[in-house]
A and B are shown apart, each in its own frame.
Chain A
Amino acid sequence: MTTATVALATCGVYLVATLVMGLLPGLRVSRSVAGYVAADRSMDTLVLYFVLGASIFSSFAFLGAPGWAYSRGLAALYVIAYGILGMVPFYFVGPRVRRLGERYGFVTQAELLAHRFDSRPLSVLMALLSLGAFVPYLVLQMQGAGLILSTLTDGRISLAAGAAAAYGVVLVYVLWSGVLGVGWTNTFQGVFMMAIAWFLGLYLPYQLHGGVGPMFDAIRGERPELLMAPGLAADGSSWTWAAFGSSVLVSAIGFTMWPHLFMKAYAARSDRSLRLTVVLYPTFQIFLVPILFIGFAGVVSFPGVEPADSILPHLLVRLEVPALLVGLVCAGALAASMSSGDSILHAAASIVVRDGIRPLSGGGLDDRRERGAIRVAVLVVSLVAYYFAVVSRVDLVALLLAAYGGVAQIMPPVLAALYWPRVPRQAPLAGLAAGIAVNCLFLLRPELKPIAGLHEGVFGLAANVVVLGLVALLSRVDERTAARGGEYLRT
């Protein structure tokens, strides 16, 4: 058998195993919206740990992070740095969000804000912002999955067919089992990815350099600029501390506020399981270290690989590793893509219905119809993303990077909702709109930034906080909103 056949068979076994893992939980979850979107608020620490971990480690982490280490050196540390800082706020905010969700029946992020500030426009704006951030993210995951299967078969399976095969599996278990299917498959995929990452991260440096230490010695000799903090920019010049630091900050805030992660607070069984998940999260984060070693391993031995994101498949091909290992690595990359894609797809569909259609329909959907509508939305969102993945030529990476700045703007309204009772209802909407507008302005016209190099999300956050604060201080809060703010603070 050829390498491609063995590797393709390995990927096939992985896809079947994932499908089974995804379908089984559908037998035990209730046929309600709370069951489909929040797993009947029953997730324990083990599943939550892998859901949060695997959702974040997408095909970017598996293919992009080694690419960053390979081409930009220590700049890749930014991925670990923002993960360290991004999870801590959830330790404080998460349990309160979970209790509010249980008390009021929330399953999405916008529901909490719309209820706290009694604002339908806020709900719709959040839905639009979430969708705008989710679709490019999902499209990139689909393209990643298609690319893996297409590369593996030397183009005999097209990118479109590869993406359809991987996301056909995702679609089936998300439609059948909802978030619990996402949880169980993410547990399976998380264990699988970690094993592959640690193996490759140690195997490749030993194979090429005789160890991790000698590998860095070789880089110090040939490419010392890669090991000068904070690394290199995309064009090969030195990255500035302002750009590095602000990217870490904005990404950390965006990380905490991504709606598909935030929503998992509602799925937690207890405050304790949620907090323990955050406590243990750094052990998942450490798995990025061997991932970076993969990229560093290729710097001296295989210079000039383009694009840098292909360094992992390039190393596998050039080193002529066993076919089974190639298959396992490709299955690991598929796992990275699918474990993020399923969570995003599920969250996007839930948000479309709960935060977009439901408020506009005047709440006229019963539980059964609403669950049906969410499943239809799963289908529609996946078809839209698939279209962009195989047909459109929009610059999605740029869109995704912009999305982080947009998602970070959700932080000030969330903190105001939970910790500042006397915020009038119009303040978060004004702050959020200002933050998004400023973020978009500096994204499109970077030459207008007052401080060059800073991430546009920082300016958006500054505008957001100032506008929210000014409106809150200059407006009068009505008694109902203040009373609800007091309830939120005491919950």
Chain B
Amino acid sequence: MRASERAVVLVTLLATLALCTPLVAPAWVGTGPFGLPRALVWVIGWLLAVFVALVVDYRRETGGIGRDRGARGDG
């Protein structure tokens, strides 16, 4: 398993803990930027974290986004 693949797994596990439990309770309370509820910012933050982890691993594996026109059955 590549290091970046392990990072995807780790970020997803952390996101699971962060989104399914009140372990980091202050993150869910109060007002964040632009007047948004901090809970909403928290959820969007984890969405972005998972997105970035996936992008990094995908780039490591394939050389970059936009190189999708490979032969059938690649990988």
Contact = CB atoms under 8 A, between A and B. Distances in A.
A246 B19 CA distance: 10
Contacts of A278: 54
Contact of A229 (B39, B47, B70): B39
Interface string A225-240: 0011110000000000
A303 to B, nearest CB: 19
B73 A270 contact: yes
Most buried by A among B16, B29, B55, B71: B16
Interface in A83-131: 84-85, 88, 91-92, 95, 99, 102
Interface stretch (A9-17, A283-291, A434-442): A283-291
B12 A88 contact: yes
B67 to A, nearest CB: 8
Interface in B14-46: 15-16, 19-22, 28-29, 31, 34-37, 39-40, 43-44, 46
A392 to B, nearest CB: 35
Contacts of B62: 272, 275
Contacts of A91: 8, 54
Contact of A77 (B16, B43, B70): B43
Interface stretch (A164-172, A212-220, A349-357): A212-220
Contacts of B36: 212-213, 216
A286 B22 CA distance: 22
Given A229-B28, A229-B39, A282 B50 contact: yes
Contacts of A279: 51, 54-55, 58, 65
B40 A270 contact: no
Contact of A271 (B43, B55, B74): B74
Given A85-B15, A212-B34, A283 B51 contact: yes
Contacts of A241: 21-22
A245 B20 contact: yes
B37 A276 contact: no
A41 interface: yes
Nearest to B55: A279
B35 A85 contact: no
Nearest to B56: A279
A95 B58 contact: no
Interface in A238-272: 241, 244-246, 248-249, 269-272
A299 to B, nearest CB: 12
Contacts of B44: 80, 286, 289
A58 to B, nearest CB: 20
Interface string A127-170: 00000000000000000000000000000000000000000000
Contact of B29 (A44, A217, A229, A292): A229
B70 A270 contact: yes
A127 to B, nearest CB: 28
A473 B37 CA distance: 48
B21 A74 contact: no
A47 to B, nearest CB: 12
A45 interface: yes
Contact of B37 (A74, A80, A81, A270): A74
A186 interface: no
Given A45-B68, A229-B22, A84 B39 contact: no
A59 interface: no
A464 interface: no
A71 interface: no
A278 B68 CA distance: 13
A18 interface: no
Nearest to A231: B39
A343 interface: no
Contacts of B46: 81, 84
Contact of A44 (B21, B34, B54, B68): B68
Interface of B: 5, 8, 12, 15-16, 19-22, 28-29, 31, 34-37, 39-40, 43-44, 46-48, 50-51, 54-55, 58, 61-62, 65, 67-68, 70-75
Given A227-B39, A272-B70, 8 more contacts: A95-B75, A216-B31, A241-B21, A270-B75, A282-B47, A282-B48, A286-B44, A289-B44
24 contacts: A41-B72, A74-B28, A74-B37, A81-B43, A88-B8, A91-B54, A99-B73, A213-B36, A216-B35, A220-B31, A227-B37, A229-B22, A229-B29, A230-B28, A270-B68, A271-B73, A272-B74, A276-B58, A279-B65, A282-B50, A283-B51, A286-B44, A286-B47, A289-B40
Interface of A: 41, 44-45, 74, 77, 80-81, 84-85, 88, 91-92, 95, 99, 102, 211-214, 216-217, 220, 227-230, 241, 244-246, 248-249, 269-273, 275-276, 278-279, 282-283, 285-286, 289, 292
Considering the complex of A and B, which 9 residue pairs feature the smallest CB-CB distances, nearest first? A213-B35, A271-B75, A245-B20, A229-B28, A282-B51, A81-B19, A279-B54, A229-B39, A88-B12
